[in-house]
Amino acid sequence: VRACQQAGYWEQALSILECLSLHGLRPDAVTHSSSLAALEKLGLWQKSLTLLEAAMRSGYRLGVVAVNSCISAIGKGLEWQRSLFLLRSLGWQGLAPDKTSFGSACSACERSARWRDALNLLQEAQDGFRLRPE
């Protein structure tokens, strides 16, 4: 899955994930992360969120990069509120948001014309996490 994702074969990466499930094989955290990246590139936010939730329910501990892929996918789907919720949930998962986390959530707000929310996120990133925009 990861090789397909890295080569830009997003659909094939997802097909492999589906085949694993059909044959009763459990994908690992790397497979989940690669699949989330593929879903983000394809703009399939609902599938991305479903996969993230399933991975977490199964006990996989995904890193901030995987969650960032989901935040970005959700934002591309104009679901800014869900993006913000997922950003906030990083702390509950024991993960610290990074520049990409805040950037993806800000982009979600921007796409939905939520400028004030985007500015508040930038301020929060600077004040609470000492992150600086590039």
Q: What rounded mean pLDDT belongs to the chain?
A: 86
| pLDDT band with cut points at 50, 70 and 90 for residue 17 | confident
> What was the pLDDT predicted at 57?
86
Q: Which two tokens stand for residue 82?
A: 């869900």
pLDDT tops 90 at residue 11: no
Separation between Cα atoms, residue 74 and residue 68, nearest integer Å = 10
Separation between Cα atoms, residue 32 and residue 26, nearest integer Å = 10
**CA distances to 3, 7, 31, 112, 118 from 55, in Å:** 20, 23, 10, 28, 29
> What was the pLDDT predicted at 134?
58
Model confidence pLDDT, tens digit, residues 72-107: 999 999 999 999 999 999 988 899 999 999 999 999
| pLDDT band with cut points at 50, 70 and 90 for residue 28 | confident
DSSP letter at 91 equals H
Of 47, 57, 54, the residue nearest 79 (C-alpha): 47
Q: Which two tokens stand for residue 20?
A: 């694993």
Of 95, 78, 84, 94, the residue nearest 124 (C-alpha): 84
Of 76, 7, 67, the residue nearest 36 (C-alpha): 67
Complete domains list, the chain, with CATH: 2-128 (1.25.40.10)
| pLDDT band with cut points at 50, 70 and 90 for residue 44 | confident
Separation between Cα atoms, residue 32 and residue 51, nearest integer Å = 8
pTM (2 d.p.): 0.81
Give the N- to C-terminal CA distance of the chain in Å, as an integer: 32
DSSP letter at 25 equals P
